[in-house]
């Protein structure tokens, strides 16, 4: 797909290349991107809109949280970047909620309005910032969009958001799809890796009980998880733009599960993607800047809020308040009801001691037709039952 005029350069966000080609794939009905803050995914979706009039005409709906935001998108990002030929063809209406062209209408709307979903048929529906869309009458814009397209043979719904809590709408759609990650070649061993925060390394910047954060910003490097080779920030652009880089579906054994711990198989026709700021070429989220922010949130002045902010905004993963990974041993001990203190690993890698207000573990296996997916419930503090995802324990049938 050709990029539009002027400013759009896909080499700045190469993980949106496959995303922008989804309209060309008849097998795909839904694309979903769970993303961090600076990743150009929305711009990639807008680029599809710009490309449509001349290449894939058909009505399109762009829905974002509020009417105000929708108008801003039209004003600042669409009208200024649409090709002049298209806009001058027959600009019947370039009001800020609709761009009417000869070949198609583009409707821009706040998520609280049901009207656009009842109006006309759409080949493309973009649901931006879907995590914060208004819910009406027990339904979501995602459900509306999908039912709106049941009769459109090559219709496509694109959902985009930073996640919030685990199990939120973007997490749910991500889980239901292919769960693709952007794997890029390590310049040292040439094998494909997923960039992850725990492999950002900095040395010698902690002396006399103090961090030298200026040095953290400039000296942090990425250590390949496969060969342990050192990768510099300046190598990132060529890594993400390498011909070897690709979107790879998460294998079944590693697929993200629903908050209840249940395995969800990929639904045919749903391509879902994840991207984090570790891939971003924006200088404000360089590896050094991210390492500094991570140290501040997790080590120097750790708070739940700061950790949550980093996870959502920079790692692009949902926050998991109450999900612990419990070991087989702690589960066995809990089941026996003998344990006073239980050490559990939190999602962020730290450990917490849970005190003995715990009754013996209530083990309720919820097989859901799949004996590999037991779900354990544990009374926490309030005495209410909360599900815990227990992956470490799956092979212990006696648990």
CA distance 272 to 31: 6
- Residue 275: partners with Cβ closer than 8 Å, 6 or more residues away: 15, 33, 35, 36, 39, 41, 182, 316
Q: What angle do CA 80, 125, 156 make, to 5 degrees?
A: 120
Binding-site size for Zn ion (CB under 5 A) equals 7
- Please count the other Cβ atoms lying within 10 Å of the Cβ belonging to residue 152: 16
The binder of Zn ion chosen from 77, 98, 188, 298 (CB under 5 A): 188
Query: In sequence order, what are the beta bridge partners of 379?
Result: 385
CA distance 122 to 145: 9
CA distance 314 to 289: 11
Query: In sequence order, what are the beta bridge partners of 343?
Result: 353
Smallest separation, CB 311 to Zn ion (Å): 25
Alpha helices in the chain (DSSP H): 17-20, 41-55, 67-72, 84-89, 115-119, 141-148, 169-176, 213-219, 236-240, 287-295, 304-309, 328-336
Query: What secondary structure letter does DSSP report for 180?
Result: E
Smallest separation, CB 69 to Zn ion (Å): 41
The binder of Zn ion chosen from 186, 290, 342, 361 (CB under 5 A): 186
Residue nearer to Zn ion on the CB measure, 189 or 214: 189
Smallest separation, CB 245 to Zn ion (Å): 14
Residue nearer to Zn ion on the CB measure, 5 or 229: 229
Residue nearer to Zn ion on the CB measure, 214 or 226: 226
Among residue numbers 196 through 255, which ones bind Zn ion (CB under 5 A)? Answer: 224, 226-227, 229
Is residue 189 near Zn ion by the rule CB under 5 A? yes
- Residue 278: partners with Cβ closer than 8 Å, 6 or more residues away: 195, 196, 197, 200, 222, 287, 290, 314, 315
Smallest separation, CB 199 to Zn ion (Å): 10
Smallest separation, CB 363 to Zn ion (Å): 42
Residue nearer to Zn ion on the CB measure, 188 or 262: 188
Contact of 51 with 4, CB cutoff 8 Å:
yes
Residue nearer to Zn ion on the CB measure, 3 or 224: 224
Q: Which pair of structure tokens corresponds to residue 186?
A: 């390590």
Contact of 87 with 54, CB cutoff 8 Å:
no
Residue nearer to Zn ion on the CB measure, 189 or 336: 189
Residue nearer to Zn ion on the CB measure, 59 or 197: 197
Residue nearer to Zn ion on the CB measure, 237 or 284: 237
Smallest separation, CB 188 to Zn ion (Å): 4
Residue nearer to Zn ion on the CB measure, 192 or 394: 192
Smallest separation, CB 200 to Zn ion (Å): 15
Q: Which pair of structure tokens corresponds to residue 196?
A: 């992850």
CA distance 29 to 15: 19
Q: Which pair of structure tokens corresponds to residue 221?
A: 């490097």
Q: Which pair of structure tokens corresponds to residue 373?
A: 């997916």
Binding mask 286-325 for Zn ion (x = CB under 5 A): ----------------------------------------
Smallest separation, CB 253 to Zn ion (Å): 22
Query: In sequence order, what are the beta bridge partners of 35?
Result: 275
Smallest separation, CB 225 to Zn ion (Å): 8
CA distance 311 to 197: 10
**Given the rule CB under 5 A, which residues bind Zn ion?**
186, 188-189, 224, 226-227, 229
């Amino acid at each position: 797909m050709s990029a539009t005029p002027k400013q759009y350069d896909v080499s700045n966000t190469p993980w949106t290349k496959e995303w922008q080609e989804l309209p060309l794939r008849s097998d795909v009905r839904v694309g979903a991107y769970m993303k961090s803050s600076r990743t150009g995914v929305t711009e990639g979706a807008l680029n599809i809109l710009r490309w449509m009039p001349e290449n894939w005409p058909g009505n399109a709906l762009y829905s974002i949280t509020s009417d105000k935001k929708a108008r801003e998108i039209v004003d600042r990002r669409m009208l200024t970047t649409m090709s002049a030929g298209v806009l001058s063809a027959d600009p019947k209406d370039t009001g800020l909620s609709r761009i009417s062209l000869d070949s198609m209408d583009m409707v821009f709307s706040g998520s609280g309005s049901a009207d656009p979903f009842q109006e006309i048929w759409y080949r493309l529906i973009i649901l931006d910032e879907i995590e914060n869309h208004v819910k009406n009458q027990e339904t979501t814009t995602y459900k509306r969009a999908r039912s709106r397209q049941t009769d459109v043979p090559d219709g496509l719904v694109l959902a985009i958001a930073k996640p919030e809590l685990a199990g939120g709408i973007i997490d749910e759609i991500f889980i239901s799809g292919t769960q693709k990650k952007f794997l890029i070649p390590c310049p040292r061993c040439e094998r494909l890796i997923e960039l992850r925060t725990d492999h950002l390394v900095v040395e010698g910047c902690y002396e006399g009980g103090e961090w030298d954060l200026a040095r953290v910003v400039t000296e942090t490097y990425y250590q390949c998880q496969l060969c342990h080779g050192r990768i510099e920030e300046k190598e990132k652009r060529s890594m993400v733009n390498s011909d070897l880089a690709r979107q790879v579906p998460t294998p079944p054994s590693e697929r993200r599960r629903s908050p209840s711990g249940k395995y969800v198989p990929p639904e045919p026709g749903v391509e879902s993607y994840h991207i984090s700021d570790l891939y971003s070429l924006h200088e404000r989220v360089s590896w050094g800047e991210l390492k500094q922010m991570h140290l501040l949130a997790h080590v120097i002045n750790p708070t739940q809020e700061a950790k949550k902010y980093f996870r959502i905004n920079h790692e692009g993963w949902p926050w998991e308040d109450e999900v612990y990974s419990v070991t087989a041993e702690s589960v066995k001990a809990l089941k026996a009801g003998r344990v006073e203190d239980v050490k559990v690993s939190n999602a962020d890698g730290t450990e917490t001691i849970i005190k003995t207000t715990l009754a013996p573990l209530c083990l309720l296996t919820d097989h859901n037709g799949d004996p590999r997916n037991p779900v354990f419930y544990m009374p926490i503090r309030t005495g209410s039952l909360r599900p815990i995802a227990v992956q470490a324990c799956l092979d212990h049938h006696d648990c």
